[in-house]
């Protein structure tokens, strides 16, 4: 994970992102059968967000584990998820493959935004937001 340089520092000396990485490393090293990550990318810059999600995916596959990631970033769910649950006010709106759950219609229904799902230059799906429907 590239965090060995943090080993001799006290936790209160670390940035929020560094703490996030240390916590994730502590979780992965225990090799749990089920891993629940609640907003694991919240304090990380874009580079580390991709690095961490790729690491989590590889480790999940290597350990044959179930990993549940709670994320508010729709593009993270779309790009890295195998199965997505979309909730609104604590109720399940949709469940399934990311490309079937994350649609322009559901973005409008759940988040009250106008958006579309497009393929980026790498062929991956991404959400492009065009504006809000209502505040």
Which position has the token pair 């001799």?
8
Quote the mean pLDDT of the chain: 92
pLDDT tens track for 13-52? 888 888 888 888 889 999 999 999 999 998 899 998 999 9
In terms of Cα–Cα distance, which of 60, 75, 73 is closest to 24? 60
Between the two ends of the chain, the Cα-to-Cα distance in Å is 39
Task: Answer yes or no: is pLDDT of 11 > 90.
Answer: no
In this prediction, residue 8 carries a pLDDT of 75
Q: What angle (nearest 5°) sits at the alpha carbon of residue 41, between those of residues 36 and 44?
A: 150
What is the C-alpha to C-alpha distance for residues 86 and 106, in angstroms, rounded to an integer?
A: 9
Confidence of residue 53 (pLDDT cuts 50, 70, 90): very high
pTM assigned to the model: 0.83
Q: Cβ of 85: how many Cβ atoms within 10 Å?
A: 14
């Amino acid at each position: 994970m590239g965090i060995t340089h943090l080993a001799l520092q006290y936790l209160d000396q670390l940035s929020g992102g560094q703490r996030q990485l240390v916590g994730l490393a502590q979780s992965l090293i225990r090799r749990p059968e089920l891993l629940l990550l609640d907003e694991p990318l919240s304090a990380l810059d874009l580079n580390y967000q991709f690095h961490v999600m790729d690491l989590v995916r590889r480790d999940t596959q290597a350990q044959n584990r179930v990993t549940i990631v709670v994320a508010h970033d729709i593009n993270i769910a779309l790009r890295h998820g195998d199965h997505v649950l979309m909730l609104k006010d604590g109720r399940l709106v949709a469940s399934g493959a990311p490309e079937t759950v994350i649609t322009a219609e559901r973005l409008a229904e759940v988040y009250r935004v106008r958006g579309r799902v497009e393929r980026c230059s790498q062929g991956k799906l991404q959400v492009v937001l065009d504006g809000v429907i209502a505040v």
